[in-house]
Amino acid sequence: MDVSGPMVRKYLRQFVAEPKKKIRLKKYDTARVPYKELSTESDDEAKTLLQDLLDKNRRELARAQDLLAASGQYSILIVLQGMDTSGKDGTIRHVMSGVNPQGCAVHSFKVPGAEEHAHDFLWRYEKVLPERGMIGIFNRSYYEDVLVVHVHPDRMELLPSAIGPGNTGFWEGRYKDINAFEKHLVRNGTVILKFFLHISKDEQKRRLLDRLSNQEKYWKFSFTDIAERQYWDQYLVAYEEMLSATSTGYAPWFIVPADYKWVARTVVAEAITSAIEGLHLSYPVFPEEKIRELEEAKKGLEQE
Ligand code: ADP
């Protein structure tokens, strides 16, 4: 059986990293505003239009999620990746504000612990995959295992030298593992949506300075973000290689312009809604007999 990917609206396909194509991130404008309807002279008017757009996102997402949960056939896995400060947390907040929290679980993946390092690299992610009817959001993911550790091999688990990163084809092997893992999930009813929140280095600087200039934002600041910034170019290379190798028809990457937070949030929410709508789900239909039972129950309650 062939596996097909998410059926999103045509307009959203412009963000998809074409499978088998070498991705050059330079060619993707991080500050793009793909919403013509918001171009207006007046800031106030733009703000109102934007608020309407975000509210519409939430309403549509809520409707789509309700149907996903009611039909209980598919699960949705959302993978969020991006440089530090790219807006993963804010995007998750936006998406969560539109869904019933009981139908959605967020998992954040940090530096793996000893037990996690003692297993194969996909183990910790597999344990928390969403069940049918649910949306699972991965804030960082198994893609860290071909990104941060590609840039910093010393942060990787210790593997025997015969199978470790010193061997030719090691990273290609990991991409193949990831592609096979995702194909397996898609074949078994998981819709996978992967978003790379693409910000510029200047925008990262602005966001870090903002955190350092506002005491209420100090808690968001991390010295490691500044330390990692010096590896910006190495990360870009690792991201380009990863995006080129793992954007597939069945689990495509969306390269989301993220210098404007609202653009990133809107694109992600719309892609999720559209992918659920593309499943053409329907609410469960009850047999006659069951409907009679429900009507009896209603009558009984009314007569109480
Ligand atoms: P975040 O930046 O996501 O808000 P943290 O500041 O705690 O959260 O950062 C999590 C850290 O964990 C990041 O530096 C990330 O690179 C690291 N990390 C995540 N997954 C892995 C992994 N598989 N191997 C090594 N480091 C990882």
Residue of 84, 144, 145, 220 best suited for mutating to test ligand 1, as the one with most atoms within 8 Å of CB: 144
Residue 80 confidence (pLDDT) above 90: yes
pLDDT per position as a tens digit, 228-260:
999 999 999 999 999 999 999 999 999 999 999
For 14, the token pair is: 């412009």
147 pocket-lining for ligand 1 (C-beta < 6 Å): no
Sorted by where each starts, the structural domains of the chain and their CATH numbers stand as 10-302 (3.40.50.300)
Residue nearest to atom 2 of ligand 1 (CA): 84
Tell me how far apart the alpha carbons of residues 112 and 15 are, in angstroms, rounded to a whole number.
Answer: 31
Say if ligand 1 is within 6 A of residue 285 CB. no
Q: Is 182 in the pocket of ligand 1 (CB under 6 A)?
A: no
- C-beta 222 within 6 A of ligand 1: yes
Q: Is the pLDDT of residue 36 over 80?
A: no
Give the model's confidence band at 49: pLDDT under 50 very low, under 70 low, under 90 confident, else very high: confident
Check pocket membership of 198 for ligand 1, CB cut-off 6 A: no
Nearest CA to ligand 1 atom 8: 110
| pTM for this prediction | 0.95
Span 147-175, average pLDDT: 96
User: Which of 195, 185, 190, 57 is CA-nearest to residue 138?
Assistant: 195
Query: Long-range pairs for 28-34 at CB < 8 Å and ≥24 separation?
Result: 28/198, 28/255, 28/257, 29/257, 30/198, 30/199, 30/200, 30/203, 30/257, 30/258, 30/259, 31/200, 31/203, 31/257, 31/259, 31/260, 32/257, 32/263, 33/257, 33/260, 33/263, 34/257, 34/263, 34/267
Tell me which DSSP letter residue 226 carries. Answer: H
Which ligand 1 atom is the nearest neighbour of the CA of 139? 3
Residue 40 pLDDT grade (very low, low, confident, very high; cuts 50, 70, 90): low
Give residue 41's pLDDT band: very low, low, confident or very high (50, 70, 90). Answer: low
Mean pLDDT of 185-189: 97
Q: Choose one of 115, 120, 140 to mutate for the ligand 1 pocket test, by most ligand atoms within 8 angstroms of C-beta.
A: 140
Evaluate: CB of 80 within 6 angstroms of ligand 1: no
- Please report the pLDDT score of residue 123 as a whole number: 98
Q: Are 91 and 61 in contact (CB under 8 A)?
A: no
| Strand ranges in 140-249 using DSSP code E only, listed in sequence order | 190-198
Write the residue with the smallest CA distance to atom 5 of ligand 1: 110
Q: How far is the CA of 95 from the centre of ligand 1 (A)?
A: 21
Choosing from 111, 149, 157 the residue with most ligand 1 atoms within 8 A of its CB, the one to mutate for a pocket test is 111
Looking at ligand 1, which atom is closest to the CA of residue 84? 2
Q: Which tokens is 49 given? A: 């239009």
Q: Nearest C-alpha to atom 21 of ligand 1 is from which residue?
A: 111
